[in-house]
Structure 1
């Protein structure tokens, strides 16, 4: 499977790293083909945040916008500008569910077991799911942001801010995808694979994505200010506004490193444990 897609180099001259890279690209292509053939998960991943965006703005936006600092004159428009970064964070978090389900499908249908018997890098099998989830997250963010623009959102970001925003989205999506892979491997069935990712989906809701953390009760406010998606949301919000986001950016990057490391170690340990059975 891998040799037909490998670069045309003599086997003796190819390093283990080049094999792993080719295998990862092969697994990524397989994941993307799976998305095309079974588009239901992708439609839900994009459709749910769009519905939440429209409900938040057109149903609750007038009242919530008036309650924002300096938002009394803006109303619904002020809330649209505030909530879009939170919806984008919610969109990225939601992709973990799709990743977990596809991983669980491979585990329960014996596909992963078959890969273990083939000359394929074990890390590449997991990396294919991670890269596929990251690509889906980036596309979902673009589409949701496009809907936000259609309903009146106007980013003020400059070229540098847009470059930084893409980098942040990719890193957060990579971290979420690794955690999603671990959750999918932990699930006992495809039906239960979407349960654990719900924890990630709730985090943007319990942060600064929809209301300022200062408006929350004391205990909830402490949690909101110290969970991963609050600095992510604030970084995205600052970049879209074209303002400096250095303190929140550093904290968001730190959380990306922590989540990626945890997801990577968790996924590899589960993979190795299953391999010994």
Structure 2
């Protein structure tokens, strides 16, 4: 068996392992979905009438809530990766000659799948609340691709953070910036309604172009500039997370 075939086979095994952990701990998925739904109910049902965004507020807020769903689901991955590192699981895998890359890939893939499933649920809830996108088939395909890309990129970054943390609690705290950044973006109100200083931060932080691209894809008016910026940010997250994760893994495992 070639090295590539061995790595793929080991990755599949790690993926099944992490999938079993997820199914045996449904609270992880439930929490990742429940919090964004609660936020949707609060912002749309309670505060939505007070925001003048030019469209129905559910249409404006849903893309931001999708990105928030992705970021909120990262905490469980950081803790799981850190548990594998600090509790000796990875050392046991090393004695079994399991591909090192497969251990990381398994966490990345299952996190990406979990985020995509959570986003699908959020979209279903949004439709139930009156979400009325004007996206074409190509727009929906682009939105799905962007959701997957953001999930994949954030997964590599959070895996690296989980590996670098000394404790599970520290790993959980490492995910806080990813969870908070969508709140400091154009997820819930346009950036141009914000004060000086805050507006500039919102405009140049990574999640704003991602949210604006997703909003454009779903509402039929995606900006090429935002789309390019979003893809560049995702590529940067992926490369940074991958290099950081592999480097940390080699030093600690």
Shorter-chain TM-score: which interval?
over 0.9
Deviation at 1:183, TM superposition (A): 1.3
1:183 is aligned, of 156, 161, 179, to 161
Task: Tell me what 1:157 maps to.
Answer: 135
Is residue 23 of structure 1 aligned with residue 1 of structure 2? no
Task: Tell me what 1:106 maps to.
Answer: 84
Pairing 1:53-202 to 2, within 5 Å after superposition: 53-64=40-51, 67-68=52-53, 70=54, 78-202=56-180
Q: Which runs of 5+ in 2 are unaligned?
A: none
Task: Tell me what 1:74 maps to.
Answer: none
Task: Tell me what 1:211 maps to.
Answer: 189
Query: RMSD value over aligned CA atoms?
Result: 1.1
Higher helix share: 2
Deviation at 1:94, TM superposition (A): 1.3
**Alpha-carbon distance between aligned partners in 2 of 1:117 and 1:248, rounded to the nearest angstrom:** 47
Residue pair 1:41, 1:98 contacting (<8 A) in 2 also: yes
Deviation at 1:26, TM superposition (A): 1.1
SS of aligned partner of 1:154: coil
CA deviation profile, 1:81-129 (whole Å, cap 9, x unmatched):
1111100010111122111011112122211121122211111110000
Task: Tell me what 1:6 maps to.
Answer: none
Task: Tell me what 1:41 maps to.
Answer: 28
User: Relative contact order: is structure 1 or structure 2 higher (C-alpha 8 Å, sep ≥ 6)?
Assistant: 2
Deviation at 1:191, TM superposition (A): 2.5
**Alpha-carbon distance between aligned partners in 1 of 2:43 and 2:165, rounded to the nearest angstrom:** 32
Residue pair 1:228, 1:255 contacting (<8 A) in 2 also: yes
Residue pair 1:42, 1:98 contacting (<8 A) in 2 also: no
Deviation at 1:222, TM superposition (A): 1.1
SS of aligned partner of 2:229: helix
TM-score (norm 2): 0.97
CA deviation profile, 1:3-32 (whole Å, cap 9, x unmatched):
xxxxxxxxxxx2211111111111111111
- Structure showing greater Rg: 1
SS of aligned partner of 1:208: coil
SS of aligned partner of 2:197: helix
TM-score (norm 1): 0.89
**Alpha-carbon distance between aligned partners in 2 of 1:164 and 1:15, rounded to the nearest angstrom:** 35
Residue pair 1:103, 1:185 contacting (<8 A) in 2 also: yes
Residue pair 2:28, 2:76 contacting (<8 A) in 1 also: yes
Deviation at 1:155, TM superposition (A): 1.5
